[in-house]
Structure 1
Amino acid sequence: MERTQPIVAGVVTALVGFASSFTVVLAGLRAVGADERQAASGLMALCVAVGAVSVVLGLRYRMPIAIAWSTPGAALLLTAGGRFAEAVGAFVVCGVLIMAAGLVPWLGRAIAAIPGPIAAAMLAGVLLKLCLAPVQAMVAVPYLAGPVVVVWALLYRFARTWAVPGALATAMAAIALTASPSNLSLAPVVELTAPVFTLPAVVGIGVPLFLVTMAAQNVPGMAVLSGYGYRPPLRGVLLATGAASALGAPFGGHAVNLAAITAALAASPEASPDPSRRWIASVTAGVSMIGLGLLSSVAAAFVLLSPPVLVEAVAGLALFGALGSSLSSAFLESRGREGAVVTFAVTASGVSWLGVGSAFWGLVAGGLMHLLLRRAQAASLRSTLPTESR
């Protein structure tokens, strides 16, 4: 059993990672203009990129370095819109920026310098729209959404790891019963889209995608690995994931990064009592993810057969935990809360200005409020100091 334990853990890691958020990916790609084939191709490109990087890093460093696609980044795409070719150009820029963060130390430090509450509030604002979808689905298609929500709630209570996969299986069963999936094809879809680079797309999609991927995935992913005693070189991880993101972009993939949620499945003692053998779990997860990618066209076809609000509802259920964590981090401390509130409000508004989406403007508005109040607090502190101490 001990010999097969990391293999089983790797397969479970891939299944949970895929099933818990592939609907978010498909919804995000469709929101930025991808058609059916482009969305299916994007999902496959992400699976292959995630799998390849997991295998390479696991073999290279002999550590359970689990890789995933950027789920918060996919949610970010829901607020963007525009032409898909321009979004692909922004995906390429995001990948290059991730590589640059590994090559240029000050860039990584600049990302780390963004106040935690501001970054968390931006992510919460991005996730809010999707997390409202289960409520909207209960009104729009209660006969489909009701069983999905009930299954999710029961599994969340008794078997939390399988709550989202269970909800997804219920949704797919409901789709199969109410639609006629006669055109399903097992053949993987590969659709190449030439990137188009425009300033609004780079600023509105590429930069926020880079920031949210770094702040919500790579940083906590490193923290999870460190908590289990693994410290892989961040430079190598960022170079590998950034290159995979840039190479996968023309095929529709938006970004890959360190796993934050499923990282513990491969790095914990449940993967193997022997820490030196847990890398097998991440390599197995990578191989399994490539296999799942070959079936991405089936997953995309099932999603397209369902009402869009049902797909978004499943995606929203998958992101409830991330929303709660982001809101807690954003508003836990009273100091700097105003900047976080401004960031959250502007980002959640979904407004677009100068062709740039709300996530970027939320970061700008919240950052300015943070700086303004910090200067005001510093001036107030100086004014209260005794004359002798000035």
Structure 2
Amino acid sequence: MRSFLADLSGQSAGMGILTAVVGYTSSVAVVINGMSAVGASPGQIASGLAVLCLTMGLCGAGLSLATRMPVSTAWSTPGMALLASLTAPAGGYSAAVGAFLVTGALIMVAGLWSPLGKLITRIPRPIAGAMLAGILFKLCLAPVTALGQVPQFAIPVVLTWLVVGRFYRLWAAPAALAGALGAMAFDGQGGTPTLALPPLEFVAPSFDWQTLISIGLPLFIVTMASQNIPGLTVLATYGYQVPTRPAFLATGGVSAFSSLLGAPTVNLAAITAALCAGPDAHAQPERRYTAAVVAGLSYAAIFSMLSAIATGLVTASSPILIEAAAGLALVGPFGASLLGAVREESQRLPALATFLVTASGFSFHGIGAAFWGLCAGLVVHMLYSDAN
């Protein structure tokens, strides 16, 4: 602790707080939408969101202190978009929690048994990107749908996103969420704010193969391919070689434990990782870990207390307006995923097959479209591999 305080500076503390604010406000609506879609009650959402902030904050702070590297952790925004594209499983939220627990266990296995992690990296990147783009597609249409259904509220939200993004892209999604919340308040929606840790609700997991294939397996693939591996890559570009075994064991173990209180998956941050790892956090690279520690403590100490407020506002609001705010936050990741999917001409047909099946919402035997999209892409890839 004495070493940490000696390394801490006002610059790194400020960047750590900024990282937490941007990470939370830019995608909290996606998290709440995702949990609600797979059957969570408002109480379970508030509990899960609070535990998620606590565990990912403490996990990130602990990893950063242990490695002396800016290891930021976050929730899986693409994974939450996956949940938002699904319907509640037959077993309710307890079945979804069982899938979260298995996802955490698989991440731990990837840390202990390197072939599993390497297997994920062997999925062709265009196919993985196409699956993510298909997952995000429906949510990214929500702003357009909102313009038709509630134009008086949607137009200011979209304009806020465009104008703020023109000058400071990092704040575009938080500004859009603030505009949506302002519209809700104007419309008389939302409850009385209560700044406190909500009651934590234990959710007994249940397991059925359909939910594990529809939620658990795609969530693991999306988390590894869109969060953990890119997060390690971002850190590597700034000269930080994070050991994967402790990182995956910590995030996977935390995910498995916190799932019992309704929380979805914790993983390495990808989008916000550069904030703590870059020169804006500190001029000296060996002291930038303090920014990640401050970000983690901010998640745990501040944003966990806002869970009841955020859940109350979002669940009491017009669903399409919150989906619009969430969709605007995902436009950038959608564009990047789609570009990565179609960039290589030799992989374009398998990627398009993956995208179309995933975006269609196709379901067979209770197994969702993300799994079938991945299967379709891999089948087409194998059929055409000799022709390229």
Fold shared, TM-score > 0.5 on shorter chain? yes
Q: Deviations over 1:338-367 (max 9, x none)?
A: 110110011001111111110001001110
Please report how far the alpha carbon of residue 270 of structure 1 lies from its aligned counterpart in structure 2 after TM superposition.
0.4
Q: Residue 173 of structure 1: which of 169, 174, 182 is its match? A: 182
Larger radius of gyration: 1
Q: Residue 184 of structure 1: CA displacement?
A: 3.2
1:182 Cα shift? Answer: 4.4
Q: Does the 8 Å contact 1:79/1:358 carry over to 2?
A: no
Task: Say if 2:331 is the partner of 1:320.
Answer: yes
1:223 maps to a residue whose letter is T
Note if contact 2:101-2:257 (Cα within 8 Å) is conserved in structure 1.
Answer: yes
Q: Return the alpha-carbon distance in structure 2 between the equivalents of residues 101 and 212 of structure 1.
A: 14
Instruction: Report the counterpart of residue 75 of structure 1 in structure 2.
Output: 81
TM-score (norm 1): 0.95
User: 2:271 is paired with a residue of what secondary structure?
Assistant: coil
Distance 1:173 1:110 in 2: 45
Amino acid at match of 1:260: A
**Cα shift readout 1:22-76 (whole Å, capped 9, x = no counterpart):** 0000000000001111111111121111101111101100000111100000000
Deviates more, 1:88-97 or 1:141-150: 141-150
Gaps (5+ residues) in structure 1?
379-390
> Structure 2 matches for 1:105-120, cutoff 5 A?
105-120=114-129
Could you say which residue in structure 2 is the equivalent of 1:161? 170
Q: Percent identity?
A: 49
Residues 194-205 of structure 1: pairs in structure 2 closer than 5 A: 194-205=204-215
Equivalent pair of 1:179/1:305 in contact (CA under 8 Å): no
1:212 partner amino acid: V
CA-atom RMSD in angstroms: 1.3
- Residue number in structure 2 paired with 1:130: 139
What does residue 386 of structure 1 align with? none
Distance, in Å, in 1 between the alignment partners of 2:333 and 2:78 is 9
2:205 aligns to what SS in structure 1? coil
- Work out whether residues 30 and 323 of structure 2, in 8 Å CA contact, stay in contact via their aligned partners in 1: yes
2:314 maps to 1:308: no
State how 1:163-312 maps to structure 2 within 5 Å.
163-189=172-198, 190-290=200-300, 291-312=302-323
Determine if contact 2:202/2:262 at 8 Å carries over to the other structure. Answer: yes
Match of 1:13 in 2: 19
State whether structure 2 residue 384 is matched by structure 1 residue 373.
yes
Cα gap change, 1:182 to 1:103, in 2 (>3 Å): closer
Q: For the Cα contact (< 8 Å) 2:33–2:323, is it kept in 1?
A: yes
Q: What is residue 103 of structure 1 aligned with on the other side?
A: 112
Q: Is the 8 A contact 2:190 2:314 kept in 1?
A: no
In structure 1, what is the Cα distance between the partners aligned to 2:375 and 2:191? 48
Q: Which of 95, 100, 110 is the aligned partner of 1:86?
A: 95
2:36 is equivalent to residue 30 of structure 1 = yes
What code does the residue aligned with 1:26 have? I
Task: Tell me the amino acid that sits aligned with residue 24 of structure 1.
Answer: V
Relative to 1, partners in 2 of residues 1:270 and 1:108: Cα closer, same or farther, differing over 3 Å? Answer: same
2:357 to 346, 363, 367: 346
CA shift digits 1:81-139 (9 cap, x unpaired)? 22111000000000000000000011111111101111000000000000000000111
Task: Kindly provide the amino acid, as one letter, of the partner of residue 265 in structure 1.
Answer: L
Deviates most, 51-60 or 79-88: 79-88
Secondary structure of the residue that 1:352 maps to in structure 2?
coil
List gaps (5 residues or longer) in structure 2: 1-7
Q: Report how far residue 168 of structure 1 moved.
A: 1.1
| Cα pair 1:79 1:357 within 8 Å, conserved | no
Q: CA deviation at 1:253?
A: 1.4
**Which position in structure 2 is the counterpart of 1:360?**
371
Task: Report the AA paired with residue 338 of structure 1.
Answer: L
CA distance in 2 between partners of 1:180 and 1:343 (Å): 39
- Runs of at least 4 residues off by over 4 Å: none
Cα deviation for residue 298 of structure 1 reads 0.3
Separation in 2, partners of 1:338, 1:142: 37
The answer for the alignment partner of 2:64 in structure 1 is 58
CA distance, structure 1, for counterparts of residue 99 and residue 189 of structure 2: 36
Alignment of 1:329-340 (within 5 A): 329-340=340-351
Displacement of 1:4: 0.5
User: Following the alignment from structure 2 to structure 1, what is the Cα–Cα distance between the partners of residues 190 and 331?
Assistant: 30
